[in-house]
């Protein structure tokens, strides 16, 4: 796990680095100003960033937005001596908010929280994976699988569509299909998986494809020819 820590106070920087070492994390890049942190983020894809909020050249909140633009999958943990920034920190996309002086216990809890998110995102057992961790910009979403309408491939990520929003997960369609195989989801196209329970209507179109609409949202998705044939068979089997 690669960790970036940024703090303009050298003692605070050394303290956090020591605590992380004690928690078994050794791959750490420490910066005492945001400019160096941005340069390091262009060279290394960090998993976690611990950012001090109050810094002279750029606030940790501004730095977080810059880092998230470069790496939307990074986990941000803010650290500060003041609790007044908590709401803004979470709105910016922070997963946790630590008050100085930072303790071993608070860092340990943050790492456990991050590991829980990772486990939920990567878990291949649908019985234990009831939620999927997804991101949109700086915001992190824990999406209940039952709230998903459909999933669509987008380059090296997938887009998860819910009633409220769409968010991104860095996973392959095959992984998502495996994750959802015990639920009422079906892959109607090489790049589309639908939640059958959310379907409002289906219409046959050219080449025997299916056009599918959903309950409560206006989106329409289209199957492949083979996907339509297999989906019709799937629906017929479930009807008996």
Q: Please, which residues have CB within 8 angstroms of residue 150's CB and are 6 or more apart in sequence?
A: 161, 192, 193, 194, 195, 198, 214, 219, 221
Q: What pLDDT, on the 0 to 100 scale, is given for residue 203?
A: 94
> If we measure between CA atoms, which residue out of 186, 177, 176, 175 comes closest to residue 237?
186
* CATH fold for the domain made of 131-238: OB fold (Dihydrolipoamide Acetyltransferase, E2P) (2.40.50)
Q: What pLDDT, on the 0 to 100 scale, is given for residue 125?
A: 43
State the Cα–Cα distance between residues 192 and 211, nearest whole angstrom.
12
Quick check: pTM over 0.75? no
Architecture of domain 3-121: 3-Layer(aba) Sandwich (3.40)
Q: What pLDDT, on the 0 to 100 scale, is given for residue 128?
A: 44
Q: What pLDDT, on the 0 to 100 scale, is given for residue 86?
A: 54
Q: What pLDDT, on the 0 to 100 scale, is given for residue 6?
A: 96
State the Cα–Cα distance between residues 194 and 221, nearest whole angstrom.
9
Q: Delimit the domains of the chain by residue range.
A: 3-121, 131-238
pLDDT per 10-residue tile (average), the chain, 240 residues: 94 94 94 95 94 88 86 85 59 72 91 78 49 74 89 90 89 86 92 96 94 96 96 81
């Amino acid at each position: 796990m690669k960790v970036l820590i940024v703090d303009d106070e050298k003692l605070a920087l050394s303290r956090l680095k020591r605590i992380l070492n004690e928690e078994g994390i050794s791959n750490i890049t420490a910066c005492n100003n945001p400019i160096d942190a941005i340069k390091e983020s262009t060279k290394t894809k960090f998993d976690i960033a611990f950012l001090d909020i109050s810094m002279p050249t750029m606030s940790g909140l501004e730095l977080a937005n810059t880092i998230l633009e470069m790496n939307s999958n990074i986990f941000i943990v803010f650290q500060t001596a003041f609790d007044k920034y908590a709401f803004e920190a979470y709105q910016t996309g922070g997963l946790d908010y630590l008050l100085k002086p930072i303790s071993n216990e608070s860092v340990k809890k943050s790492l456990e929280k991050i590991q829980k998110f990772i486990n939920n995102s990567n878990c291949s057992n649908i019985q234990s994976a009831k939620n999927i961790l997804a991101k949109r910009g700086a915001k992190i979403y824990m999406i209940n699988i039952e709230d998903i309408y459909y999933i669509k491939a987008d380059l090296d990520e997938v887009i998860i569509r819910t009633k409220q929003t769409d968010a991104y997960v860095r996973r392959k369609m095959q992984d998502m299909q495996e994750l959802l195989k015990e639920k009422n989801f079906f892959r109607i196209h090489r790049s589309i998986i639908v939640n059958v329970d959310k379907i409002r209507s289906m219409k046959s179109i050219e080449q025997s494809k299916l056009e599918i609409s959903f309950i409560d949202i206006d989106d329409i998705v289209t199957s492949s020819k083979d996907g339509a044939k297999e989906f019709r068979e799937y629906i017929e089997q479930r009807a008996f």
